Structure 1
Amino acid sequence: METQTDILTAIAPAGGETRTILDPATGEAVGQAPVHTVADLDRAVAAAAAAQPAWAALGHEARSAALLKAADAVERHAEELARLLSREQGKPLNGPNARFEVGACAAWLRATAATALEAETVVDDGETHAQIHYRPIGVVGAIGPWNWPMMITVWQIAPALRMGNTVVVKPSEYTPLSVLALARVINAELPTDVLHVISGGRDVGARLAEHPAVGKVMFTGSTATGKAIIRSSADTIKRLTLELGGNDAGIVLPDADPKAIAEDLFWGAFINTGQTCAALKRLYVHTDIYDDLCQALTDVAAAMPMGVGLDEANVLGPLQNKAQFDIVSALVQAAKDSGARVLLGGNPDPDQPGYFYPTTLVADIDNDNPLVAQEQFGPALPIIRYDTIDDAVSMANALDVGLGASVWSADLDAAREVAARIQSGTVWINKHGAVDPRIPFGGAKQSGYGLEFGVEGLKALGVPQVING
């Protein structure tokens, strides 16, 4: 079995410009990433386009079999992939972090292979027979983020490949090594040129979004970048799936038990050290249980160890890059300046190496405070008091995003009634961010459009064709 060193050697650039990737926890060099060019991208797209007809011709059964073999390969290399991911992204090996992410890659490959998509008969009345079929698009461009680089890449490529498309991936400039290594493992089970990874800068991403031979772009990242992709894709009328910013709200109803839900609330907010689009980022708590919940959540958060990801004891890591560290720092400072009450954290150590921001809980904060109104994408959670359910729903819906949300209550019927009033692509009950490969996932408002996962996710990677007759 290859070691992590073997994988880094295998993906090391053979020539051309390179860039040193640093560990955000220690500042140490992880490896050298290629800096691919627009010309490299054009060659990859041409090769993928040439390989696509033969890949499509294999049929669903053969393509699903290849995805299952790819899942086996990911599991064989799971530990070295997890250790590379931990060093490059910063997330710890343990907890819902690096090993969890690699395991999710295998799980999503298997679930995608197992999901049936049959032709749908829409009319069959003796005179008219009409069916909807889904045909391959061609070449799919996948542009991924730095927070879950391996897992979200699989979310993009697994359904694209299953549906008979070939794929060109552009990973984040912050985490290219993880995606290059994952693709190398998966490509061992795929025909040549079916999957390419191009590790370049913004010019490469822009070219992928506008490339005339790319039929669809899938993107997970910021709303601002999503808008740029929409503009770039317009001239060629590309299909798009966009999973954009979240700033997810959670509403705790007055009958909830603070101690019983505190740990689930914590992980809903602080999974991947808060660097998750669908993490809980603003928490609305009824005044009757506000103080008790603040205390219960503080007790849980204070016990969660943060540090270098390769240390098996840690479950929280650094922010992945300085830009994100600065955003979190500024937002927490704005909350402190406003007079909000810091329950925990808020005091990063300037002498500590790496981009570590301490686990931070902020209470008695106004709903229009920047820490609430802007997506922090890090380990800082504002807790807002409310008096009536109408107030909570109004505050939750006030922003122009709606990726996920959650309602917490001992009364499921009451929770579902509140959930139906929230403007969000997904609303979880007594949990937050629990994605499932069988359940469609997508955003509302400026959190994007298009669905991923399950049958709807497969349909989104095909061109619907109606055969009428």
Structure 2
Amino acid sequence: MTAIALDSDVLESRNPATGELLATYPVDDAASVQTAVDRAREASEWWRDLGFDGRRSRLQTWKHTLVRRIDDLAQIMHDETGKPFDDARLEAVLAIDHLGWAAKHAAKVLGPRRVPSGLVGINLAASVEYQPLGVVGVIGPWNYPVLTPMGSIAYALAAGNSVVYKPSEHSPGVGVWLADTFAEAVPELPVFQVITGFGATGAALCRSGVGKLGFTGSTATGKKVMAACAETLTPVLIEAGGKDAAIVAADADLDAAADAIAFGAMGNAGQTCVGIERAYVESAVFDSFVEKVKVIAEGIQVGADAQLGPITMPGQLPIIQRHIEDALARGGRAVVGGPESVQAPYVHPVVLVDVPEDSEAVREETFGPTLTITRVASLDEAVNLANAGRYGLGSAIFSRSRKNAMELARRLRTGMTSINGVQSFAMVPSLPFGGTGDSGFGRIHGPDGLKEFTRPKAVARQRFKPPANLLTFTRTAKDVTSTMKLLRLLHGKG
């Protein structure tokens, strides 16, 4: 197991591949969580008053530290989650890029700007700016313990908030390491703190009076987070599960599509919220595509220091097993692997075809290195099947026709779509990331991600007396008459 409670006060972190004890951490109770939030609230005022330039300078210092020590960070990720070392380094690269983007663009996105006041308000100077919320709470996942939470942490910090972060109990060391390196860059006050523990610690954070709570995890846990936050009307951002689909058109580059989809399904041992779990392939190229994916999947190496590491959370193993068995029991066929592919703590690649759309392997999030491939008669059918589920996070389309691919992308009920690639939207800091339906709501990354951790502030300043003084008890009939004439002029024609 990656993390277990020794007693009510201590959390163990263990390597999921070897069982080696890595470190122990405290289990923070409600009182210690509240203390952290209270300290963060005091720090938030100082951090806010630094302004965009002051925060940018300090975030850049942190960024430079992360770059210098990227291998240290990757090693902790590898040890705690079991993911391959180079995959961990790539994750850190993307997180650092997002940190740099947020620090650089916060002033432009959030700073004061003039907006048109319109003819009715011609005497007004109108402006809007985005102010920090104070303290932002973040509850992060274990599968991408740097990139995913950094989408909230970096953007919340750049927007002027302090942050209290609860990492997953399966990767506490990564969270502690991030906070420690931040403290080296910003030693003055506890602007970014980490609390550790299990679900009760996260629930305490929800009830602690933070300005907003950003959560990444399962849909079921997301609902519990929302319920806890509702007690204090704390707004939430939910990035929950996914059951992402890829569509392969008959005109697609099949070699490229097979290579990308195999990685999208099997990379990180399938433990990716925007991983590809379903592929819908036009009939004309179905057999060829399946064969290409089969060859790739059969060649993937599995092991502690191989291309696919262990399943980080032991409780996921029976779910993966059940989905495979259910698919086969309902008439599906395994072209790679099968139930025997589940060999704790590892799962070897599994590729399934002819799986009914109402099976668990198609409807529910598997979160393992499995892929269902379904033959479709048309792209319209592919879109309908891709949209049929309750999740709506990411998606992918493979086609040589830019026009067709863009049209299909717009029809998919997902927050993000990659064209002729998988998960590429996560690599672009200026693009928003988030889902719909049971995949959650709210956005991290990009301008939307910065605004997510702020409140808009609107200001209307009178520059000169209005031509018609309407907001007073001394207004005249002439004021009303002239306003009605203006109304007809502006909105009465056509």
TM-score, with structure 2 as normaliser: 0.87
Q: Residues 466 and 84 (structure 1 numbering): CA distance in 2 closer, same or farther, change over 3 Å?
A: same
Aligned partner of 2:273 in structure 1 is 277
Aligned partner of 1:441 in structure 2 is 433
Q: Secondary structure at the match of 2:196?
A: coil
Amino acid at match of 1:196: Q
In the TM superposition, residue 458 of structure 1 has moved relative to its aligned partner by 0.8
CA contact under 8 A between 2:152 and 2:449: conserved in structure 1? no
Structure 2 Cα separation of the partners of residues 151 and 417 of structure 1 = 30
Aligned partner of 1:358 in structure 2 is 348
Specify which of 171, 176, 180 is matched with residue 176 of structure 2. 180
* Residue 234 of structure 2 is aligned to residue 241 of structure 1: no
Structure 2 Cα separation of the partners of residues 81 and 304 of structure 1 = 25
Amino acid at match of 1:383: I
In the TM superposition, residue 346 of structure 1 has moved relative to its aligned partner by 2.2
Aligned partner of 1:220 in structure 2 is 216
Report 1:288-327 matches (<5 A).
288-308=284-304, 311=305, 314-327=306-319
Query: What does the per-residue CA deviation read over 1:92-125, in whole Å, with 9 as the maximum and x for residues that have no partner?
Result: 012xx21111222222211111113232322245
* Residue 101 of structure 2 is aligned to residue 111 of structure 1: yes
CA contact under 8 A between 1:367 and 1:384: conserved in structure 2? no
CA contact under 8 A between 2:27 and 2:201: conserved in structure 1? no
Structure 2 Cα separation of the partners of residues 340 and 144 of structure 1 = 35
In the TM superposition, residue 452 of structure 1 has moved relative to its aligned partner by 1.1
Aligned partner of 1:337 in structure 2 is 329
Aligned partner of 1:255 in structure 2 is 251
CA contact under 8 A between 1:241 and 1:451: conserved in structure 2? yes
Specify which of 358, 368, 377 is matched with residue 367 of structure 2. 377
Show structure 1 runs of 5+ residues with no match. Answer: 1-14
Query: What does the per-residue CA deviation read over 1:20-76, in whole Å, with 9 as the maximum and x for residues that have no partner?
Result: 222111222222222222211011011101111111000011101111111111122
Q: Secondary structure at the match of 1:420?
A: helix
Aligned partner of 1:88 in structure 2 is 80
CA contact under 8 A between 1:274 and 1:378: conserved in structure 2? yes
Aligned partner of 1:32 in structure 2 is 24
Percent identity of the aligned residues? 35
Specify which of 121, 126, 140 is matched with residue 114 of structure 2. 121
In the TM superposition, residue 390 of structure 1 has moved relative to its aligned partner by 2.3
Specify which of 194, 198, 216 is matched with residue 191 of structure 2. 194
Specify which of 207, 211, 223 is matched with residue 208 of structure 2. 211
In the TM superposition, residue 287 of structure 1 has moved relative to its aligned partner by 1.2
Structure 2 Cα separation of the partners of residues 105 and 414 of structure 1 = 32
* Residue 388 of structure 2 is aligned to residue 395 of structure 1: no
Amino acid at match of 1:457: G
CA contact under 8 A between 1:226 and 1:242: conserved in structure 2? yes
Q: Residues 24 and 369 (structure 1 numbering): CA distance in 2 closer, same or farther, change over 3 Å?
A: same
Aligned partner of 2:452 in structure 1 is 460
Amino acid at match of 1:262: A
CA contact under 8 A between 2:341 and 2:349: conserved in structure 1? no
Query: What does the per-residue CA deviation read over 1:361-388, in whole Å, with 9 as the maximum and x for residues that have no partner?
Result: 1112111111011110110111111112
* Residue 62 of structure 2 is aligned to residue 70 of structure 1: yes
CA contact under 8 A between 1:393 and 1:418: conserved in structure 2? yes
CA contact under 8 A between 2:219 and 2:241: conserved in structure 1? yes
Specify which of 139, 158, 165 is matched with residue 169 of structure 1. 165
Show structure 2 runs of 5+ residues with no match. Answer: 1-6, 462-494
Amino acid at match of 1:50: E
- The structure whose Rg is larger is 2
Query: What does the per-residue CA deviation read over 1:147-186, in whole Å, with 9 as the maximum and x for residues that have no partner?
Result: 0112222111111111111111111111111111122112
Q: Secondary structure at the match of 1:146?
A: coil
Query: What does the per-residue CA deviation read over 1:167-208, in whole Å, with 9 as the maximum and x for residues that have no partner?
Result: 111111111111111221122112321111000111111111
Structure 2 Cα separation of the partners of residues 209 and 149 of structure 1 = 20
CA contact under 8 A between 1:243 and 1:442: conserved in structure 2? yes
Amino acid at match of 1:188: E
In the TM superposition, residue 128 of structure 1 has moved relative to its aligned partner by 2.4
In the TM superposition, residue 349 of structure 1 has moved relative to its aligned partner by 6.4
Q: Secondary structure at the match of 1:26?
A: coil
Structure 2 Cα separation of the partners of residues 235 and 19 of structure 1 = 28
Report 1:129-140 matches (<5 A).
129-140=125-136
Amino acid at match of 2:206: A
Amino acid at match of 2:441: Y
In the TM superposition, residue 447 of structure 1 has moved relative to its aligned partner by 1.1
Aligned partner of 2:401 in structure 1 is 411
CA contact under 8 A between 1:74 and 1:105: conserved in structure 2? no
Structure 2 Cα separation of the partners of residues 40 and 460 of structure 1 = 27
Aligned partner of 1:19 in structure 2 is 11
Aligned residues: 446
Q: Secondary structure at the match of 2:206?
A: helix
CA contact under 8 A between 1:74 and 1:186: conserved in structure 2? no
Q: Secondary structure at the match of 1:98?
A: helix
In the TM superposition, residue 16 of structure 1 has moved relative to its aligned partner by 8.9
Amino acid at match of 2:167: P
In the TM superposition, residue 235 of structure 1 has moved relative to its aligned partner by 3.1
Q: Residues 18 and 93 (structure 1 numbering): CA distance in 2 closer, same or farther, change over 3 Å?
A: same
Amino acid at match of 1:300: I
Structure 1 Cα separation of the partners of residues 265 and 405 of structure 2 = 19
Structure 1 Cα separation of the partners of residues 128 and 440 of structure 2 = 26
Report 1:146-165 matches (<5 A).
146-165=142-161
Query: What does the per-residue CA deviation read over 1:383-425, in whole Å, with 9 as the maximum and x for residues that have no partner?
Result: 1111122221111111111011111111111111122211111
In the TM superposition, residue 347 of structure 1 has moved relative to its aligned partner by 4.4
Structure 1 Cα separation of the partners of residues 83 and 446 of structure 2 = 27
* Range 83-92 or range 180-189, more displaced: 180-189
* Residue 140 of structure 2 is aligned to residue 144 of structure 1: yes
TM-score, with structure 1 as normaliser: 0.92
Q: Secondary structure at the match of 2:459?
A: strand
* Range 119-128 or range 73-82, more displaced: 119-128
Aligned partner of 2:228 in structure 1 is 232
Query: What does the per-residue CA deviation read over 1:309-366, in whole Å, with 9 as the maximum and x for residues that have no partner?
Result: xx3xx2211110211112111111111222311111224467x6x5100011111211
How large is the Cα RMSD of the aligned pairs? Answer: 1.7
Q: Secondary structure at the match of 2:322?
A: helix
